[in-house]
Homo-oligomer: A and B are copies of this chain.
Amino acid sequence: MPLEEVERRLREAYDRDFHFEEGRVLGSMCSKPEDIAVKYHALFSEANLGNRGLYPGTAELEEEIIGDISELMHLKGGWGQFVGGGTEGNITAMWIARNLSEKKKILAPESAHFSMKKATDLLAMELVDIPLDNEYRMDVDALEREMDGDVAAVMAVAGSTELGQVDPIKEISEVAGDVFLHVDAAFGGMVLPFLEDLGRWSGDWDFRVNGVDSLSVDLHKMGMSTVPSGILLLKERGYVDSISVESPYLTTKRNIGLAGTRPSGAVAGAYAVVKSMGRKGYRDVVKRCMENTEYLVGKMQDIGFEPVIKPIMNVVAFKTDRAEKIRKEMDKMGWKISTVRRPKAIRMVVMPYVTRKVIDEFTEALDGLGYA
């Protein structure tokens, strides 16, 4: 096909996609990556840390960012690696837990991301849903009742997909004891440290809790970097031995983790954005997102919708029996929101590209439906 025709078709496809800068996507946890992340991702597009020996420069960038994020999550020593995202992070953590324990049961809150179902099926494990308390956090008493000798792992959520809720991780850790404890902080990991800086929230959710063995966080969500820049952190370097395989014909003797080829342009992209934003940059972004979240809550209350919980982070859901109907009708008008299963609710994520102007237009359109 002639080059002009190829490029014309690509431009047309691009125009058909939704774009964050248009602001009408209120149901996505991904953000528009910063320009500098896109630029360096592209420069490093051939980097493949799956064959690490060829990319000593990229490998150092990875180590430095893993160090920075470890510090942010209060992990000293330990081990980390870029992964494809929260799903791969959760799968890998459960894989390690299963291989270390030779047991099969996973205890996870009902609010866990659906990737836990995927991990369970893939790994031939067994998922036990732990009910939630009145605040939609994992019920620690219910967890305690399910603890037995067959448990390979307990997982907890720091920033649930549906409500942005944080499980009581310290109490969970006390119940879990020596059992492997994984924290899914895919979204919350790049929000909570800055909420703490801002004095807006406090709690124990990361490696400050001694029993936490692994934690996953995505830099392509609130980290504002390019896909795929998930990070998996492990308390002990030795854990990875349980899932590494021999890798002949590569520049390293053993290959660690799920992926073979690793798209490591994302490492350079993450380096560019994390280092240039700095802690203050992220704090400012989180501050603005939280102020806009509160603005959204006020506007929604004005038109008759109440939040399911007072939002901790920039994820907020509003109770309504007509959630699916509202989602569909808003979709027809070009607004993308999502729904929550229990309690029935519509859900929005106030990402950095969601401005007050967008919130005004959104709530006006929603009010026009007359479903409050």
- A-side residues, CB < 8 A to B, are 1, 3, 5-7, 9-10, 12-20, 25, 27-28, 30, 32-33, 36, 38-48, 50-51, 53-58, 60-61, 84-88, 91, 95, 99, 113-115, 117-118, 121-124, 161-162, 218, 220, 226-228, 230, 243, 245-251, 255, 258-266, 268, 271-272, 275-276, 278, 336, 338-341, 347
Contacts and interface: CB of A to CB of B under 8 A. Distances in A.
Given A248-B339, A261-B87, A276 B6 contact: yes
A42 to B, nearest CB: 4
B57 A15 contact: yes
B245 A58 contact: no
How many copies of this kind of chain does the complex include?
2
Nearest to A53: B336
A249 to B, nearest CB: 4
B258 A87 contact: yes
A13 to B, nearest CB: 3
Given A6-B272, A17-B56, A50-B85, 19 more contacts: A9-B61, A9-B271, A13-B58, A13-B61, A17-B58, A18-B55, A28-B54, A32-B46, A41-B45, A42-B42, A54-B336, A86-B260, A87-B259, A87-B260, A115-B260, A117-B246, A118-B245, A122-B122, A258-B258
A181 B28 CA distance: 38
Given A30-B46, A54-B25, A258-B118, A336 B251 contact: yes
Most central of A13, A33, A266, A278 by chain B CB within 10 Å: A13
A279 to B, nearest CB: 11
A17 B267 CA distance: 13
Contacts of A25: 54
Given A122-B95, A245-B114, A28 B13 contact: no
Contacts of A39: 42
B258 A122 contact: yes
A86 B261 contact: yes
A245 B117 CA distance: 7
Contacts of A340: 248-249
Nearest to A267: B13
A3 B273 CA distance: 10
Contacts of A42: 38-39, 41-42
Contacts of A248: 114, 162, 338-341
Given A41-B42, A227-B45, A227-B261, A28 B3 contact: no
A158 to B, nearest CB: 17
B121 A245 contact: yes
A1 B241 CA distance: 35
Given A114-B246, A243-B121, A17 B57 contact: yes
Contact of A10 (B7, B13, B87, B272): B272
Most central of A1, A86, A114, A271 by chain B CB within 10 Å: A114
Contacts of A51: 28, 30
Contact of A18 (B43, B54, B268, B336): B54
Contacts of A272: 6-7, 10
B261 A228 contact: yes
B265 A16 contact: no
Nearest to A340: B249
Most central of A6, A261, A268, A341 by chain B CB within 10 Å: A261
